Structure 1
Amino acid sequence: MASGTRLLTVVDLAESIIVPSEVRDAPVIDGPPPEGFEPAAMDITYGEPDFDPSEMSFSALHLAVLEDGRRLTLLDDRGWGVSGTPDLWQTTTVEEIAADARVVVGPDEAHGNHTRTDMAAAHWSELADTLRHHGVLIVPAELSRLPHDVEITERVRERLTDT
């Protein structure tokens, strides 16, 4: 049975969704669709994100790297954005992006009646359950102690150096 050796978060530019004009500009109908309505197939594609020198938008893919080299997805729905001065891409470092990525993939901060300890316990338990479904047995406390690397994609690095 494989075991985890480290955590890895891959940071990339958040993709922009390109919606065709016939869909984007169609009227919005509140309520149920008219009887006999057949929705049109939407040809939505993903493209290179627009570049605004005062804004950054990132996606974060959180993985467990196993001793046999396999990578298992823990979280694939995380990301964040930053707005600032027109030189934001020139003044932001890879280290700052990596630090933000570690925060974005959790555990979350305390809120409501939940302490930071409660939030961390729930977070690591959920990730351990995800791994268990893939045949990797690891206790949450052990998972929380694994090294956590952040890999910044070439697209992000190019934006940081090309501005």
Structure 2
Amino acid sequence: MEQPLGASSRTLHFRVEEFATLSDGRRLTLTDDRGWSSKRSGGGAATAWVGLTVEAVESAVRNVVLPDDAEETGELYSWTHLVERLRALGVETTLEELRRLPYEVILSQRLQARLSATR
């Protein structure tokens, strides 16, 4: 669901994509306009990765996709928006059907390798 855009100095940039994998194997991108940056103090670009864990990245991803009205609705994901995006892409589904599916955070291979290298 996310991919590091790169690092300049001690700042790491991450992009989050939400996608749906259909039963026929197609992967449809639903959102790709989110992300975050993280700046670490001390050292150079290599030290920006020190101490960064898979769990921390997954938590940040979940915060990034958290709806603005999550406190009022209790929703962890923008299900309605995701249903609308799927319909716009020609996939008929309902809010109830989508909620029954797992919402997984999948780290890119590049990010997994980078995080493994800093353990």
State the TM-score, normalized to the length of structure 2: 0.76
Question: Number of residue pairs matched?
Answer: 114
SS at match of 1:81: strand
Greater RCO between the two (CA within 8 Å, min separation 6)?
Answer: 1
Deviation, 1:88, is 4.2
Task: Determine the C-alpha separation between the residues in 2 that align with 1:150 and 1:106.
Answer: 13
- 1:125 equivalent to 2:85? Answer no
**Preserved CA contact (<8 Å) 1:90 1:161:** no
The whole-number CA distance in structure 2 between the counterparts of 1:50 and 1:161 is 17
CA distance in 1, matches of 2:26, 2:66: 22
In structure 1, runs of 5+ residues without a counterpart are 1-8, 15-48
2:62 alignment partner, one of 92, 97, 102: 102
Task: Note if contact 1:75-1:105 (Cα within 8 Å) is conserved in structure 2.
Answer: no
Residues 106-141 of structure 1: CA deviation (Å, up to 9, x unaligned): 32345xxxx5318x4x93222111111222222223
Distance 1:50 1:130 in 2: 31
Contact in 2 for aligned 1:74/1:130 (Cα 8 Å): yes
What is the letter of the counterpart of residue 104 of structure 2? D
Structure 1: distance between partners of 2:97 and 2:30: 15
1:62·1:73 contact (CA, 8 Å) conserved in 2? yes
Taking the aligned partners of 1:55 and 1:161, their CA distance within structure 2 comes to 19
**1:158: how far off?**
3.4
Give identity over the alignment, percent: 37
d(CA) in 2 for partners of 1:50 and 1:160?
14
Instruction: Give the corresponding residue for 1:44.
Output: none
Structure with higher helix content: 2
One-letter code aligned to 1:154? Q
Cα distance between partner residues in 2 of 1:88 and 1:50? 8
**1:55 maps to what in 2?**
11
1:148 and 2:103 matched = yes
SS at match of 2:35: strand
Higher gyration radius (CA): 1
| Alpha-carbon displacement from aligned partner over 1:11-48 (angstroms, at most 9, x marks no partner) | 1112xxxxxxxxxxxxxxxxxxxxxxxxxxxxxxxxxx
Shift of 1:69: 1.2
Return the TM-score normalized by structure 1: 0.58
Matched residues in 1 for 2:25 and 2:17: separation? 17
Provide the aligned C-alpha RMSD in A.
2.6
